[in-house]
Every structure is written in C-alpha cells, then in structure tokens.
Amino acid sequence: MFILNNSDPVPLYKQLYNQIREQILTGKLPADSKLPSVRHMAIELSASCNTVDGAYQELFAEGYIYSRPRSGHFVSALDRDVAPQTTSGKPGKCDYLPGPPSNFTYDFHPARLDPESFPTELWRKCFVDSLRRNSQQLVQYGDPQGDWGLRCSIQSYLERSRGVLCDPDQIVICAGLQQSLDIVSNILKESHSVVAVENPGYHLPRSVFQSHSYTICPVPVERDGIDLNALKTSNSTIVYVTPSHQLPLGYVMPVANRLALIEWAESGGKFIIEDDYDSELRYHGKPIPSLQGLRPTGNIIYSGTFSKILSPALRLSYMVLPYSLLATYRQRYRDYFPSVSLLEQRTMATFMVQGHWERHIRRMRMIYKKKHDILLRSVESHFGTRAVVIGQGAGLHVVLMLPETPHSEAEILDRALQKGIRLYPFSDFHVNDQPEVTTLLLGFGGMNGSGLEHGTAILSQIC
C-alpha cells in the first residue's frame, strides 16, 4: 500500500517512486510481480494518472521495472545481496563550514606574496573586458596548448625581459610547474629514465618525475650552481635546474657553467629543464638573462610562472618547448583539452597587452626590495656574526646558516611555533643527506616591515 501526502514538499510522483523503489529494493515487491496499471493505481491513490505515469517512467528508466507490450509493468530481478544502501548508510553530512586557517603572528613562508599586492581593480577590468569579448567562445573547448593571444604576449615579454628566444608555437600554457613537468615526463619517458635534480633543491620535480617512474639522481649544488662534474658522471639524461636563482640557496649559475651545461645536453640528446620561477625579482642590477637565450635552438625546456609576481592562486604558468619536442607533444596532447580557463588566459593576455604586467613587476620589485632590506638589516642587528646569510638580493626568501646554534632545525621550528612564528623546514629541500649546519629558510614576501623586525628579533632569541 502506498500513501501520498499532499502537504509533503516532495512531488507526488516522486513520493510514489520512492515508495515503490524501496519495496523493490527490500524485496517486498518480488521480481516479476506485476504492478497495477496506471489507471488502477491512480484510482487506488486518488491521484492523477500523470502522477503514477511519472513514477513508473522513472522506475522504468532506471531499470527497477520492465514493461511487456499490452501486459503492463513488472518488477525487475535484482541481486538482493548487493541491494543498494539506503540513505542511512550515508557517510556524513556537510552541515559545517571550514574553520579559519591556522594563524601565526609571523609566517616566514618562502613563496607568499604581499597580501595587499594583488591588482584587484585592474584584474577586474581586464576580466570583465575579456568576458564580454569572449562569451561566445566559452561554449567550446579551446586550444589545448593555450590561447594564442596569451602565447604571443608571453613570447614578446620573454624576449624583452628574459632573453628567451622562441616562437609562440613553442609555448604551452600550464596550470603550474607540476603540470609542465607532467607533460615533459610523459613526452620524454620513452627514451629517458634518469633525471638529475639539484640537491638541495625543490621537492616538486622529484615528486612528479618519481610518479612517472623515473629514477631521481640528486646532484650537489655549489656556489656556481649544480656540480657539473657530478652531473657528467651520473647517468642522467635530463636535468632540472634553477640557474638564475637556485632554489633554495639563491646562487646564480655563471655563464661559463651555463655553456658547459648546454654542451652536456647537446652531447647525446639530453635535456635541460630551466625553471626560471622568480627571476623577475632581483634587487640589485638587472635580472639574469635566461639560459635558454644562450642557445634558443638547444635542448632546453624553459619554464616560467605568474605565481611569484601576480598570484600563486591563479594557477597560471607556461613552458617553452624546444622544436625537437613539439611534434611529440602535439601528437600526444592533440586530443587533450586545455588545463587553464580560457577566461583567465584572456584576462592575463589583456593584462599584459595593456602594459599592466610589466608595471606590476616593477611595483612588486620595489615592495619586495624594501622587505628584503628590512629582513637583512634585522638579521644583521639581531644575529650579528651568529648567522651567515645566503641567497640574498633576489626572490622572496633568504637562507640563514647558524653554525653556532646548539639547536637542531626541528627544535628551532618547534620553539618558533610556541612564539607564534611559522618556519618551513629547510631540510625538505635535501634529498638523502641533511644540511651540515642548522639552516633556516626565511620568506619575507607575506610579512610587513614590523613583522619582519619583530619576528627576526624573537627568532634570534630562540636560535
């Protein structure tokens, strides 16, 4: 017997559907039993034929009942053992909202940007402009390699500012380094299996290449970048480097080593992945030109990002593939789809074409230079000779070596936490070994001047 309730907000046909479905699933209505005809059921329930017909149609569409011509509807045979769970089996309900993120008075995150720095109003204008121009383009998939206009803007910016010489055809728009490396891993894996990475170095490339079953070969970093002799004696055929601002140590690879690295790559079809993640941010002199520009036709995969200057939350980056990889890339990714929203790509293109991007870089360079200088002054006045600063003059962080401290990194991180200071382990950058002396990573991008001063003062007391 089924009961329909007119005051229930659930539509009548749905109420009937639910009740019949429940009886089928619990076995009360066995397989092949005949349901009353639509007309009879309607009379029985004092409901309209439409109501009953609606319920039957849904049950039929989902396979709970079947129909025989001129005979009516019958219950389908279901495997009782695997009957579906009712809603009581539901894992949990979302009636809670996320709490606020953990707060620290001083957060030395190495890649946090200035919280007031996002160009909200300009971005809004560029977005609205690109939305209005492109709303008809939103109904289809775009170019998997990225919007052509944005690629042209990036090409001309890279040539002017980074000495990268390429064609927009070589540029792939990506949603961050991890995606670029995923693509590179994929297109190189047929003939390569060992990747050299800097040690200490960024964890992400290790992680991505490992997930593609590559062997990771950590190579020490010297004051002039990755150790070329160690690289040569390894059996790596791909190397991931950060030549313009080594992550995390901040060293610049001199041109002689760059040329030697290019020579290494050219002897035997090896590949260099140049990650030029934050080279816009140099506070003394001009940015170091790219390695790619030294040999535009070489086996160099150049990677750049908008994360360090504009926003890491936009997930917008790019890479420049050498001509030798373009055919494989296209063949492999032809049937794929773009990974970045067309609206965001067009917004960025508009932002660049209107000159906002390069103005924004100059503005950010001034903001971060100020923070950088405050941090260095604070370190000098509070740590004095107890600390050796490495990697200053660029980027969003410096490295502090503390040869005299009695504390390990873990102890300092823990002591800092108790004082409301968040530090990020430098040791995460090391692959198998550990730094010889306790070393701290101090990001300054997200903090204001007084935070940098006070944070450093407190740090100096606990180190």
Q: What part of residues 188-217 is at the interface with a second copy (CB under 8 A)?
A: 203-204, 207, 211, 213
User: Any contact of residue 266 with a second copy (CB under 8 A)?
Assistant: yes
Work out how close the CB of 235 gets to a second copy at its nearest, in angstroms, rounded to a whole number: 22
Size of interface with a second copy, in residues (CB under 8 A): 115
Per the CB < 8 A criterion, the answer to whether 247 and 226 are in contact is: no
Helices (H), 304-448: 323-333, 342-353, 356-383, 409-418
User: Any contact of residue 449 with a second copy (CB under 8 A)?
Assistant: no
Per the omega criterion (within 30 degrees of 0), is the bond before 9 cis? no
User: Any contact of residue 84 with a second copy (CB under 8 A)?
Assistant: yes
User: Any contact of residue 32 with a second copy (CB under 8 A)?
Assistant: no
Cα-flanking dihedrals φ and ψ of residue 343, to 5°? -60, -40
Token pair 């693509």 is found at: 183
Give dist(CA 76, CA 59) in Å, integer. Answer: 10
Token pair 């000159």 is found at: 355
HEC per residue, 184-208: HHHHHCCCCCEEEEEECCCHHHHHH
Per the CB < 8 A criterion, the answer to whether 236 and 195 are in contact is: yes
Which of 8, 22, 30, 115 is close enough to bind a second copy by CB under 8 A?
Answer: 115
Segment contacting a second copy by CB under 8 A, of 43-51, 232-240, 269-277, 293-301: 293-301
User: Any contact of residue 427 with a second copy (CB under 8 A)?
Assistant: no
- Closest to a second copy by CB, 316 vs 398, is 316
Q: Which of residues 340-379 bind a second copy (CB under 8 A)?
A: 340-344
Q: Which of residues 9-28 bind a second copy (CB under 8 A)?
A: 14
Which of 35, 173, 226, 253 is close enough to bind a second copy by CB under 8 A?
Answer: 253
- Closest to a second copy by CB, 40 vs 124, is 124
44, HSE (Cβ side, Cα atoms, 13 Å) = 12
Which of 37, 57, 161, 193 is close enough to bind a second copy by CB under 8 A?
Answer: 57
The closest of 295, 289, 275, 346 to 166, measured between CA atoms, is: 295
User: Any contact of residue 315 with a second copy (CB under 8 A)?
Assistant: yes
Which of 3, 7, 191, 337 is close enough to bind a second copy by CB under 8 A?
Answer: 337
Question: Which tokens belong to 38?
Answer: 């639509």
User: Any contact of residue 389 with a second copy (CB under 8 A)?
Assistant: no
Question: Which tokens belong to 287?
Answer: 């940015």
Work out how close the CB of 356 gets to a second copy at its nearest, in angstroms, rounded to a whole number: 15
Give dist(CA 13, CA 2) in Å, integer. Answer: 11
- Closest to a second copy by CB, 337 vs 432, is 337
The residues facing 68 across adjacent strands are: 72
- 123 to 162: interface string for a second copy, x by CB under 8 A: xx--xx--xx--xxxxxxxx-----xx--x--xx------
Which of 49, 255, 327, 366 is close enough to bind a second copy by CB under 8 A?
Answer: 255
User: Any contact of residue 167 with a second copy (CB under 8 A)?
Assistant: yes
Segment contacting a second copy by CB under 8 A, of 41-49, 192-200, 253-261, 372-380: 253-261
Give dist(CA 9, CA 358) in Å, integer. Answer: 57
User: Any contact of residue 460 with a second copy (CB under 8 A)?
Assistant: no
Which of 263, 358, 380, 414 is close enough to bind a second copy by CB under 8 A?
Answer: 263
CA distances from 315 to 174, 176, 177, 346 (A): 8, 5, 9, 14
Segment contacting a second copy by CB under 8 A, of 33-41, 70-78, 233-241, 429-437: 70-78
Give dist(CA 54, CA 178) in Å, integer. Answer: 49
Give dist(CA 315, CA 295) in Å, integer. Answer: 28
Beta strand extents in 235-368 (DSSP E only) = 238-241, 271-275, 300-305, 317-320
Work out how close the CB of 384 gets to a second copy at its nearest, in angstroms, rounded to a whole number: 24
395: left (phi over 0), alpha (psi -120 to 50) or beta: left
User: Any contact of residue 311 with a second copy (CB under 8 A)?
Assistant: yes
Work out how close the CB of 387 gets to a second copy at its nearest, in angstroms, rounded to a whole number: 24
- In the DSSP assignment, the letter for residue 316 is -
Which of 231, 288, 321, 402 is close enough to bind a second copy by CB under 8 A?
Answer: 288
Q: Do β-strands 238-241 and 194-199 pair in parallel, antiparallel, or remain unpaired?
A: parallel
Work out how close the CB of 426 gets to a second copy at its nearest, in angstroms, rounded to a whole number: 15
Which of 224, 373, 411, 453 is close enough to bind a second copy by CB under 8 A?
Answer: 224
User: Any contact of residue 69 with a second copy (CB under 8 A)?
Assistant: no
